[in-house]
Amino acid sequence: MAPKLKNLSVEAKAQYRVPFGTVSITEQARQLIDTALDTKFVTRGKYVAEFEKQFAKLFGTREAVAVSSGTDADALALAVLYDYGAQRGDEVIIPALTFVATGNAVFQAGFKPVFVDVKRETLNIDVDQIEAVITPRTRAIMPVHLMGKPAAMERIMAIARKHKIYVVEDAAEAHGAQLNGQLVGTFGHMAAYSLYAAHIITTIEGGIVTTNDAAMAEALRSLRNHGLVNKFEFQRIGFSAKMNELEAAVGLGNIKIYEDILGRRRRNLLHLIERFKKFDPYFITIKEEQGEKIGPHAYSVILREGLNFSKDQCVEYLDQAGIDSRNLFYSIPTQCLSYAFLGHKLGEFPESEYCANHGFHFGIHQDIELTQLDYVVETVEKFLRLKGHKV
């Protein structure tokens, strides 16, 4: 049996607990926060501007516009398209399997989400199915780089050029990911990042949109402040989605140690990829393909078909051993009650539904040590042996 958490000493819990997420708050960030508090200027100001400048430089774009959340980053990026001929009710193609915020942002921007199934092995949108759902009202594709694994951006961009539609990358979990030497977030017309606490660069809560298009960046700055331009002229239907100085201070501190955070996460990812190879008969796990460099958010595990145990049994065993995990999201159109009004039925997105029913993910963040990951591997091995499998 896995050790019961309630029966463990405080010391044992601390030693074996493998938490899902972490937050890195540097001394530099604390000093900047103190300065902002002392001056009593804590709304959007010079720290936000500096954070935008450094983020754009780090991620290889000309412009970056900071906002209040990753969901707002998605929504505002899509709302920019009204400047380019889009109409309310037009369609945006997104993967069925992703965090629900992706779909919510499409609605918040005034568009209709059109869902495409994913590939089980990559967790990303199945590019072969995209063209079948393009209509005269399609305005954009929003691929999601789930778990930091790059979507097939070269093929997606080719489809977008062919049909004259825009691409907004949902890079919420993909800080630092690369495809064939090019940074994720630099393929599409815009890219939206989450800066939530669990992500590689965080502002605790927050988001940011990057682009190489100055006009799009200017529209984003207007949209985050109620559509304001000049001193008091409202040109667009906008949002209230500004980042504040305290959040930007945390982000500036994270940028300072970004390479260290990314390096430690990639060390953890590659360690688990190697150590989980022996579990391949039982699990589909996130892997780096040729030309890919994953920006590690978390480690995903999907049970293969025909096993004598369920995801819930596996997750419960890990939880009792002190290993925190999360479900591998859901098929938004068929497994989220809030989307029932669209009329989709179970079975329409079989791969997304399978991943949701049989998948989970756990942390590989910068505060996790290799010994903790080895403990995860040992615990999984014990579980499999308990179920009668040879490992």
When pLDDT is averaged across residues 154-174 and rounded to a whole number, the result is 98
State the DSSP H helix or E strand holding residue 37, giving kind and residue range, or none if neither.
helix 27-39
Claim to verify: residue 16 and residue 49 sit in the same structural domain: no
Does residue 314 carry a pLDDT above 50?
A: yes
When pLDDT is averaged across residues 298-304 and rounded to a whole number, the result is 98
pLDDT on residue 3: 44
Residue 38 is assigned to a structural domain of this protein:
yes
d(CA 18, CA 225): 40
Q: How far is CA 177 from the centre of its chain?
A: 11
Claim to verify: residue 14 and residue 68 sit in the same structural domain: no
Long-range contacts of 43-48 (CB under 8 A, 24+ apart): 43/242, 43/244, 43/245, 44/242, 44/243, 44/244, 44/245, 45/245, 46/245, 47/245, 47/248, 47/249, 47/252, 48/242, 48/243, 48/244, 48/245, 48/248
Claim to verify: residue 214 and residue 280 sit in the same structural domain: no
| Cα–Cα nearest to 383, from 330, 310, 326, 334 | 310
Claim to verify: residue 165 and residue 230 sit in the same structural domain: yes
State whether residue 118 is helix, strand or coil. Answer: strand
Residue 331 is assigned to a structural domain of this protein:
yes
Q: How many CB atoms lie within 10 A of CB 64?
A: 23
Does residue 346 carry a pLDDT above 80?
A: yes
Query: Domain residues for 317?
Result: 5-21+258-386
Claim to verify: residue 47 and residue 146 sit in the same structural domain: yes
Residue 64 is assigned to a structural domain of this protein:
yes
Claim to verify: residue 248 and residue 218 sit in the same structural domain: yes
| Residue 2's pLDDT band (cuts 50, 70, 90) | very low
> What CATH number should be reported for the domain holding residue 276?
3.90.1150.10
pLDDT on residue 10: 43
Residues 137/114, Cβ–Cβ less than 8 Å: no
| Residue 327's pLDDT band (cuts 50, 70, 90) | very high
pLDDT on residue 125: 98
* Domain limit, last residue, from 256, 282, 305: 256
- Mark out the alpha helices in 257-389 (DSSP H runs): 258-275, 311-320, 332-335, 350-358, 370-386
Query: Between 242 and 9, where is the model more confident?
Result: 242
Residue 105 is assigned to a structural domain of this protein:
yes
pLDDT on residue 13: 46
Mean pLDDT, the chain, as a whole number? Answer: 94
Chain segment 182-215, per-residue pLDDT in tens: 999 999 999 999 999 989 999 999 999 999 999 9
Chain segment 10-64, per-residue pLDDT in tens: 444 444 478 888 888 889 889 988 898 888 888 878 999 999 999 999 999 999 9
> What CATH number should be reported for the domain holding residue 162?
3.40.640.10
Claim to verify: residue 267 and residue 252 sit in the same structural domain: no
Report the largest interatomic distance among the alpha carbons of the chain, rounded to a whole angstrom: 70
Claim to verify: residue 73 and residue 14 sit in the same structural domain: no
When pLDDT is averaged across residues 246-250 and rounded to a whole number, the result is 94
Query: Between 3 and 119, where is the model more confident?
Result: 119
Task: Please say whether the dihedral angle defined by the alpha carbons of residues 186, 189, 195 and 196, taken in this order, is positive or negative.
Answer: negative
* Domain limit, last residue, from 223, 256, 289: 256
pTM of the model: 0.93
State the DSSP H helix or E strand holding residue 193, giving kind and residue range, or none if neither.
strand 190-194
Does residue 272 carry a pLDDT above 90?
A: yes
pLDDT on residue 85: 97
When pLDDT is averaged across residues 290-315 and rounded to a whole number, the result is 97
Residue 391 is assigned to a structural domain of this protein:
no
pLDDT on residue 15: 46
Does residue 4 carry a pLDDT above 60?
A: no
Claim to verify: residue 79 and residue 151 sit in the same structural domain: yes
Claim to verify: residue 81 and residue 191 sit in the same structural domain: yes
Does residue 117 carry a pLDDT above 50?
A: yes
* Domain limit, last residue, from 213, 230, 256: 256
Provide φ and ψ at 274, rounded to 5°. Answer: -70, -45
pLDDT on residue 33: 87
When pLDDT is averaged across residues 294-313 and rounded to a whole number, the result is 97
Claim to verify: residue 242 and residue 307 sit in the same structural domain: no
Number of separate domains in the chain: 2
pLDDT on residue 248: 95
d(CA 302, CA 136): 36
d(CA 352, CA 48): 37
Core vs surface per residue 120-152: b (16+ CB within 10 A) or e: bebbbbbbebbeeebeeebbbbbbbbbbbbbbb
Angle (nearest 5°) at CA 262 between 258 and 266? 170
| Residue 1's pLDDT band (cuts 50, 70, 90) | very low
When pLDDT is averaged across residues 78-96 and rounded to a whole number, the result is 98
Claim to verify: residue 248 and residue 271 sit in the same structural domain: no
